[in-house]
Structure 1
């Protein structure tokens, strides 16, 4: 017997619960004011020694709560898929679904999928996970959507030293 997934809603005004039948949704998101769910669909790749790769992103949007009607949208990845594990970070204010690599790697990639514009962008960061390479393992990386930091630092050494100070505290 497998798991059955349910989404529980609470109507504050009526003080009542509602249960929405669900299936496995990797991450719930707010999709333009509606409940959305994102799944990453994996398949085995024969050329990668039986390894798994991400073939497509599936977006489910709850169109009608009463009738429990969902719309499904499928966004394929590259022809050969993507091999590194990804996490669904969430959705930006500009309606882009953000995915990031689960583990620190060189380079570390963050992906932005815009369903409206039908674009898929990759931004990579150099040096993320570099300190873990000497230990032959990767560290988990947590990413957040729409976080804004004030980077108007006049002295670049201050910015650099504050990052290293935080990094050293993790290994004490």
Structure 2
């Protein structure tokens, strides 16, 4: 009698696991479509990806990227991590170089079920690190409300200016920080 109960529990567990993985695979196939499966799966699964690429003059392990919406570190110690939720609204990220915030960047997502593949390319130009963010996939590939915010420091490491940049890196506002 007890053996039958254990078999039933094991069978329920196996069926549950198979249903979970089956739903996850199906949800990944329809992840950018407006459906009930997508709405539910966007709560439980993180299908967004983030990749950081640097030129040969930079060391990948010197960088850290934080998802500002959740506070989750999505890139550190040279490795990508999960942690980009599917939220409606601004998706904001912070780029740190040797524990000093260099940039804040982001865009606006018009639906909470849209997923994105982010690639952040960093190049060292004239002794400055220049970012270039590409959003590779998703229904909302336009750069709606896209921006960069650049943090500039003096020789002693004190923040003295925040520059607000467009997608094309044109400055549209500067905030000077007084000492």
For normalisation by structure 1, the TM-score amounts to 0.31
Max Rg structure: 2
More helix by share: 2
For normalisation by structure 2, the TM-score amounts to 0.30
More strand by share: 1
Greater RCO, CA 8 A, separation 6+: 2
